Chain A
Amino acid sequence: MNPGVLTAGARGLGLAEHARKVVQSGQPESPAPARTMRARKQRGLVERWLDWRFSGWTSPLLVLALWVAATELALAPEQILVPPWQVVTSGWELVQSGELGEHLSISLVRLLSGFGFGSVLGVVFGLAVGLSPRLDAYTAPTFQVLRQIPSVALIPLFILVFGIGETFKVVIVAKASFFIVALAVHDAIKSLPVRYLEVAAMLRFSRLQAIRKVVLPAIVPATLTGVRIALGRSWMVLVGAELLAAESGLGQMMEMARQMFRLDVVMVGVVLTGLVGLALDRGFRLLEAYLMRWQRR
């Protein structure tokens, strides 16, 4: 038999083995019943606290309190451990001078272009290897090895190849997102329930039809999750790359501030990096929920 050919059954999609496992273990494919019905009778203090809509602020406020306490007790010299309000003031000064906006927008442009390239390529590649076991067999070793190399470790090499201009930053971000997205798509296809394809076979779908009407819609959730993780990772890699080599950008703002011994500005960068990462993640979750709204009907 030729494994490269998509047969009417699941074999061509490399799903037979998975199906067997599922049958053997006897696990249901659908997720466990919703947990919303959990007993809510005992409403202790902790639970009421957790139910409060602002309880999510607990840990950020605790961190802030620790920070304030540490500065008040002068656990470290003021030049190193900057109090939060000074970070806010410095941040505001940077906003007013327009410096912060400039750094932030350039970082975001780099992020979105690199991430755009990387994730589109990742989806395409993931689909190709997910659908064609032969291609998968050819590329898997290389893919698996390259995937293990931390993007940050490639920075010096990328500088030598691409120079220190914009190309290098876009490429490194694209690299970071490509592997995560490709892997997510690949795995999503590999773990498609067999019965989906059985239905497709029963309806006598052509290969293209099966891909378009069954595979693609089915892998959307896993793909979106992969893309979201990739977005977060890309942001971290970008800031790291900017710390090492850039003329501008948030990471460079932090590095420069460290050289100028302005740890307040470094802290502005740290806080902002976290907030931007959070905003990107939250934003993408909203987008995900919007795209997946059909599932909730």
Chain B
Amino acid sequence: MMPVSPFSRQRRLALSAALLPVLSTSLRAVAAEALPPALRIAAVSRTGPSGKTLFAGSSALVAEQGWLAAELGKLGVKLEWVPVTTNSVAVQVNEAFANKSIDFAQYGDLPSIIANASGLSTQLVVPGGSMNNTYLVVPANSSARSIKDLKGKKIALHRGRPWEFPFSRLLAANGMTQKDVRILNLNPQAGASAVASGSADAFFTLSDAFLLEDKKVGKIIWSSKQAPQNWKMRAELWGDSAFLKKHPQLAQLVATAYVKAHQSAIGDNGRENYIRHEVAAGQSRSLVEREWEGDNTDWNERWAPLFTPELRAHYAAGAAYAQQARLIGRPLDTSKLYAPQFVEQALARLKLQNLWASR
């Protein structure tokens, strides 16, 4: 048997006394950082041909790269993709932000403005990555050639969606206001059947316009392809402000992952890879290609994750429009909507400061 040293007890006490503060500080650190079990990102999804849920846009690239899921996994946080359907992305995402069931969402400009004006607090984390153009479709047998011919006519438009702002620009550029046409507030599906059956004289929407052309029930008389840049709708990565504040390190991972996705999209085969994803998610290749055909935007520019003066001007103008169109009840200070620190950090970490620096 080992003799018990008279000092051992004291030494043990001293040791634990020395350890105690260390232990408690580390406990406190854990409490402060208490990571959520999961990080949830909402993204537009379609049901793919195999019945699998597939995501659209840059979220699909992030999911494919798997880097974000792995990095979060190291911290014991699970990455969850929350699918939202194209028919009502705006409503679903805003309601999900309100009841805290998502932390990030890749969605449009006007819905974000509406959310922030009604008391939610979200911030733009990674700009760019939106490929969408907007289109004005009329029934195949219509004689209308431009928006001017639709004065006093019924136009289907889903209100509060990101393509409403380009629509207002189009009206304004032709010296018209919303009062000059009759807006039918219909979701994209109902709008398509309304224009196909001729009960609406026109339909303002996204690339689903091509499907109407393919079925020979509609023809596109205007698209935003050649329109000024600030007419284009934006859809980008937004985060819940409270989450960004509470878990900046997780937000950083998300931002870095999206910047990496943007980087891969402008790299070799990036464009082809992107098309492949869209096709896998149920879009036809010809539709994706037609969406970009004749577009005046440079491919690399589309993916620039930069908080440019143009971007800020776009949101300021969008908020002004929303208030004037009474989509929101009070003015919104859009300068609070940006959280550029994450992208800056990501660009620095990935050494990509000069990749999009042309502007």
CA distance A159 to B191 in the complex (A): 11
Say yes or no: A259-B120 contact (C-beta < 8 A), given A156-B193, A164-B186, A247-B184.
no
> What residues on A are CB-neighbors of B197 within 8 Å?
159-160, 163
Residue on B nearest A159 in the bound complex, by CB = B193
Say yes or no: A164-B200 contact (C-beta < 8 A), given A79-B98, A261-B94.
yes
Say yes or no: A159-B99 contact (C-beta < 8 A), given A245-B190, A256-B159.
no
The stretch of B111-119, B262-270, B276-284, B337-345 in contact with A is B111-119
> What residues on A are CB-neighbors of B14 within 8 Å?
none
CB <8 Å contact, A261 and B200: no
CB <8 Å contact, B186 and A80: no
Whole-angstrom distance between the Cβ of B158 and the nearest chain A Cβ: 7
> What residues on A are CB-neighbors of B160 within 8 Å?
259-261
A156, A159, A162, A261 interface centre (most CB from chain B within 10 Å): A261
The answer to whether A262 has its CB under 8 Å from any CB of chain B is yes
Q: Scoring A residues 147 to 180 as 1 if CB is less than 8 Å from chain B, else 0, what string do you get?
A: 0000000001001101111000000000000000
Q: Scoring A residues 52 to 95 as 1 if CB is less than 8 Å from chain B, else 0, what string do you get?
A: 00000000000000000000000011111000000000000000
Residue on B nearest A247 in the bound complex, by CB = B184
CA distance A266 to B34 in the complex (A): 37
Of residues 105 to 131 in A, which have CB atoms within 8 Å of B's CB atoms?
A: none
Task: Give me the 3 closest cross-chain CB pairs, A-B, nearest first.
Answer: A163-B199, A259-B160, A79-B98
> What residues on B are CB-neighbors of A255 within 8 Å?
185
Whole-angstrom distance between the Cβ of B91 and the nearest chain A Cβ: 6
User: Which of B100, B115, B119 is the one whose CB lies under 8 Å from A78?
Assistant: B119
Say yes or no: A244-B118 contact (C-beta < 8 A), given A159-B197, A261-B94.
no
The answer to whether A204 has its CB under 8 Å from any CB of chain B is no
CB <8 Å contact, B185 and A164: no
CA distance A159 to B198 in the complex (A): 11
The answer to whether A234 has its CB under 8 Å from any CB of chain B is no
B→A interface (CB under 8 Å): 90-91, 94-95, 98-100, 114-115, 118-120, 158-161, 182-186, 190, 193-194, 197-200, 327-329
Interface of A is mostly: loop
CB <8 Å contact, A164 and B158: no
List 12 contacting pairs A-B, 8 Å CB cutoff, sorted by A: A79-B118, A156-B193, A159-B197, A164-B199, A164-B200, A244-B190, A255-B185, A259-B158, A260-B118, A260-B160, A261-B98, A261-B120
CB <8 Å contact, B94 and A247: no
Chain A interface residue count: which class? 20 to 34
CB <8 Å contact, A80 and B115: no
Residue on B nearest A161 in the bound complex, by CB = B197
Interface of B is mostly: loop
> What residues on B are CB-neighbors of A165 within 8 Å?
199
Whole-angstrom distance between the Cβ of B324 and the nearest chain A Cβ: 14
A→B interface (CB under 8 Å): 76-80, 156, 159-160, 162-165, 244-247, 252, 255-256, 258-262
User: Which of B95, B182, B329 is the one whose CB lies under 8 Å from A247?
Assistant: B182
CB <8 Å contact, B193 and A79: no
CB <8 Å contact, B190 and A79: no
CA distance A79 to B118 in the complex (A): 7
Residue on B nearest A168 in the bound complex, by CB = B199
> What residues on A are CB-neighbors of B161 within 8 Å?
259
CA distance A259 to B94 in the complex (A): 9
User: Which of B95, B119, B159 is the one whose CB lies under 8 Å from A260?
Assistant: B159
CA distance A261 to B113 in the complex (A): 11
A255-B185, A261-B95 given; 5 more Cβ-contact pairs under 8 Å: A77-B99, A79-B98, A160-B193, A165-B199, A261-B160
B120, B161, B183, B184 interface centre (most CB from chain A within 10 Å): B184
CA distance A184 to B199 in the complex (A): 35
Whole-angstrom distance between the Cβ of A124 and the nearest chain B Cβ: 30
> What residues on A are CB-neighbors of B90 within 8 Å?
259
> What residues on B are CB-neighbors of A76 within 8 Å?
99
> What residues on A are CB-neighbors of B186 within 8 Å?
164, 245
CB <8 Å contact, B199 and A256: no
CB <8 Å contact, B118 and A262: yes
CA distance A268 to B120 in the complex (A): 21
> What residues on B are CB-neighbors of A260 within 8 Å?
114, 118, 159-160, 327-328
User: Which of B100, B159, B200, B328 is the one whose CB lies under 8 Å from A77?
Assistant: B100
Whole-angstrom distance between the Cβ of A30 and the nearest chain B Cβ: 53
